[in-house]
Amino acid sequence: MKSLKFLDNLYAIFGEFELWKYKDVNWKSWVKYSVASEDQKKDANLRSLTKPEVVIDMDNPSEFEQAISILDKYNFKFDVWSTCHAGHYHIRIIFPELIAWNDSQIKELRKFFCKSTGGDSSKGSARTMIAIEYKPHFKDSSKIKNKIEHLSKPGINLLNSIFPVFLDWLKYEQPTKTNTHCVGVGKIEGHPTQETLNKIKTRPEIYNLLHSNVPIGFRSSKDFVLAKACVELGISFEEFYRVLKLTSWSKAHEPKHNLHYAERTYSVALKAEKTYIMTGVRNNEKIRRDRQN
């Protein structure tokens, strides 16, 4: 049976998940695949996701095309599956490294993919259930859940591949109503301290950026690079703003907007740093930089 072979392979490669039977006679509880009987495996029509799986649930053809274009833009590998209705798809993305993550971390990553691609937010939960592959759909037994080969790009993904789309999404996310780093700051005047400048000198790519004549504008890569470096070096927002004023960035905007734009950029860098630390990418970058030095 094609479905059973798929489930056996899924368990062998990515580990535990749970089964459920919906309709007719509902099961009293979920059953772990490792202890499920052969009859239970045959009867089940829903399963939970394994840890490495991210599923985007799309029920609008135009939104589906947009999600595919986003994934293609960042070279993600994925499978596309039919569901019970025309124009309703599941997009499955595999990150094997997620096996080492805990449930709350996986939940945040799944929620991010659902939100950034317009998918159903319920698929972001840790124990979300999906229709079992190559079986009649639990909502319409006349429909088999099959892989759509011509829309799929088979393969697995590395965690590093999520950061370009993550950072782009953060930078263009709608700003919050309150400034989280400028409250009570008022005007920030003066020059950065020598301690701040000494820290920046340890990062040549940033130090050179400060002495270039290239304008640094909000939402450009340069202002974010500078904010990201300051966050990594433990430089406060106030000091980041003073450093920023040393560059030609401040000439790109009206003075009354400078503080707002700087605050927004620094906020994005803080969110990115939190994610880097959570996934271990920051440690890898530090090891690589230490080796180069």
In this predicted model, what pLDDT tens digit does every residue of 248-269 receive, in sequence order? 555 554 444 467 777 777 877 7
Tokens 């094609």 map to which residue?
A: 2
In this predicted model, what pLDDT tens digit does every residue of 53-99 receive, in sequence order? 999 998 888 889 989 988 998 889 999 998 877 778 999 999 998 88
H-state helical runs in 52-203:
61-73, 103-117, 162-172, 194-201
pLDDT at 37: 94
Residue 190 has pLDDT above 90, yes or no: no
- What is the average pLDDT across 7-28? 88
More confident residue, 122 or 39: 39
- What is the average pLDDT across 184-203? 77
Q: Which residues contact 22 (CB under 8 A, 6 or more apart)?
A: 45, 46, 138
Distance CA 228, CA 232 (A): 6
pLDDT at 119: 85
pLDDT at 230: 86
- What is the average pLDDT across 169-187? 46
In this predicted model, what pLDDT tens digit does every residue of 219-248 receive, in sequence order? 445 677 778 888 888 888 888 888 877 765
DSSP 244: H
Q: Which two tokens stand for residue 99?
A: 């096996």
Residue 49 has pLDDT above 90, yes or no: yes
Measured in whole angstroms, how far is the alpha carbon of residue 83 from the centre of its chain?
A: 24
Average pLDDT, the chain: 77
Question: What domains, with CATH codes, occur in the chain?
Answer: 2-159 (3.90.920.10), 174-292 (no CATH)
Residue 80: burial class (beta carbons within 10 Å; 0-12, 13-18, 19+) = buried
